[in-house]
Amino acid sequence: MPDNKDKYEQLNQVIAELKDQPGALMPVLQRAQGIFGCVPMDVQKIIAEGLGVTLSEVYGVATFYSQFRLEPNGKYTISVCLGTACYVKGSQKVLDRLSEELKTPVGKTSPDGLFTLNATRCLGACGLAPVMTINDEVYGRLVPDDIPGILAKYREQA
């Protein structure tokens, strides 16, 4: 896989670039996730070796923060806001409907590998509550009945 080899080269470059700055582990993990889409074990091993820390330290950090994923996401990542402003305006119902339509529990990827369903906290668009994002697209003032139509749009373009 020439494509993947390229990614590992990028990772090594990132490690070389950041290795000497204090507290490099987090920024390296963040950049690694940017390159690979997630930080699986083999990537963690390379980071541990590159930074001269133990694998358990890398693993400990990668699993502590909810931002890091050990497995790749689906093509579309859906994040429904469960911040207080959205919750009091019914975002739980939106999330429930998505879970039902996708037959996927929160935090998991749909059987067809297309959608990953997440709950997040405040996206900073509380004025539009309830809010969700699909990749970089923001949807506001949602009601559960909006969901089938929105999903259909993505299924079509997939």
Partner 1 sequence: MDIYRAHVLCCGGTGCTSSGSAQLIQRFEEKIKENGLDKEVKVIRTGCFGLCEAGPVVIVYPEGTFYSRVKVDDVDEIVTEHLLKGRKVQHLVYSDHATHEQNANKSLQDINFYKHQHRIALRNCGVIDPENIDEYLAFDGYKALEKALTTMTREQVIEEILKSGLRGRGGGGFPTGLKWKFAAASVADQKYVACNADEGDPGAFMDRSVLEGDPHAVLEAMAIAGYAIGASEGYIYVRAEYPIAVKRLEIAIGQAREYGLLGENIFETGFNFDIKIRLGAGAFVCGEETALMRSIEGKRGEPTPRPPFPAVKGLFAKPTMLNNVETYANVAQIILNGADWFASMGTEKSKGTKVFALGGKINNTGLVEVPMGTPLRTIIYDIGGGIPNGKKFKAVQTGGPSGGCLPAELLDTPVDYDNLIAAGSMMGSGGMIVMDEDNCMVDIARFFLDFTVDESCGKCAPCRIGTRRMLEILERIVNGKGEEGDIEKLENLANTIKATALCGLGQTAPNPVLSTIKFFRHEYEAHIREKKCPAHHCQALLSYVIDPSKCRGCTACARVCPGGAISGEVKNPHVIDPSKCLKCGACIEKCRFGAISKQ
Chain contacts with partner 1 (rule: CB under 8 A)? 22-27, 29-30, 57, 60-61, 64-68, 82-89, 120-129, 131, 138, 140
Tokens of 107: 């935090």
Q: Which does 50 bind (CB under 5 to 8 A by kind): ligand FES, partner 1, none?
A: none
Please list the residues that pair with 138 across neighbouring strands. Answer: 133
Q: Which does 39 bind (CB under 5 to 8 A by kind): ligand FES, partner 1, none?
A: none
Comparing CA positions, the residue from 26, 27, 30, 32 lying closest to residue 12 is 32
Tokens of 2: 């020439």
Q: Measured from the CB of residue 72, what is the shortest distance to partner 1 in angstroms?
A: 17
**Between 33 and 114, whose beta carbon lies closer to partner 1?**
33
Q: Which does 25 bind (CB under 5 to 8 A by kind): partner 1, ligand FES, none?
A: partner 1
**Between 40 and 90, whose beta carbon lies closer to ligand FES?**
90
Q: Measured from the CB of residue 31, what is the shortest distance to ligand FES in angstroms?
A: 27
Task: Indicate left, alpha or beta for 129 from its phi (over 0: left) and psi (-120 to 50: alpha).
Answer: beta
Residues in the chain: 158
Q: Measured from the CB of residue 61, what is the shortest distance to ligand FES in angstroms?
A: 27
Q: Measured from the CB of residue 95, what is the shortest distance to ligand FES in angstroms?
A: 12
Comparing CA positions, the residue from 74, 145, 35 lying closest to residue 47 is 35
Q: Measured from the CB of residue 82, what is the shortest distance to ligand FES in angstroms?
A: 8
Give contact residues for ligand FES (rule: CB under 6 A).
81, 83-86, 122-126, 129, 131
Report whether 146 contacts 139 (CB < 8 A): yes
- For the CA atoms of 38, 42, 43, 44, the dihedral, rounded to the nearest 10 degrees, stands at 100
Tokens of 10: 């990028």
